[in-house]
């Protein structure tokens, strides 16, 4: 049994979904591990990780719009230390989650045909985000 770890960093353009599938796949290939379990952790409380459709862009924009309706900005939050999008970003992270676990089969993530891994930025401003990766396998 072998292990590999890394932290990847990616920039966001502000609120929305950033496809990080290729960066993860490249690192996975470099490890040489063929079979195992890949765990991902977003190291932030106002951004999250999603597996979502990678074909129709409307799916991603509809998802972001839905999250905005579920956790809207407004003066009704006690926590607004970093602005009106601060607490809604934390709520969206609670709803979507900060970690993923993926089987690795044949040196590749066992994603479905139309699935990609996305970093969901819940803040309006661009940010630099980190995702910790841990791979255990053979």
pLDDT, tens digit, 9 for 90 and up, residues 4-39:
999 999 999 999 999 999 999 999 999 999 999 999
Number of structural domains (the chain) is: 1
pLDDT, tens digit, 9 for 90 and up, residues 116-137:
999 999 999 999 999 999 999 9
DSSP tally for the chain: helices H, then strands E: 3, 8
Query: Quick one: which of 5, 2, 15 has its CA closest to 86?
Result: 15
Report pLDDT for 64: 97
Report pLDDT for 115: 98
What CATH number does the domain containing 72 carry? 2.60.120.460
Report pLDDT for 122: 98
Domain encompassing residue 111: 2-137
Give the Cβ contact number of residue 87 at 10 Å. 20
pLDDT, tens digit, 9 for 90 and up, residues 57-88:
999 999 999 999 999 999 999 998 999 999 99
């Amino acid at each position: 049994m072998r292990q590999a770890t890394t932290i990847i960093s990616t920039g966001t353009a502000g609120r929305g979904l950033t496809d990080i599938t290729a960066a993860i796949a490249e690192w996975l290939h470099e490890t040489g591990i063929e079979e195992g379990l890949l765990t991902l952790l977003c190291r932030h409380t106002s951004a999250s990780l999603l597996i979502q459709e990678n074909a129709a862009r409307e799916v991603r924009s509809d998802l972001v719009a839905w999250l905005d309706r579920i956790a809207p900005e407004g003066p009704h939050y006690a926590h607004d230390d970093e602005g009106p999008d601060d607490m809604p970003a934390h709520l969206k992270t609670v709803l979507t989650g900060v970690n993923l676990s993926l089987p690795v089969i044949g040196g590749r993530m066992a994603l479905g045909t139309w699935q990609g891994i996305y970093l969901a930025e819940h803040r309006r401003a661009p940010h630099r985000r980190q995702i910790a990766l841990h791979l255990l396998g053979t």
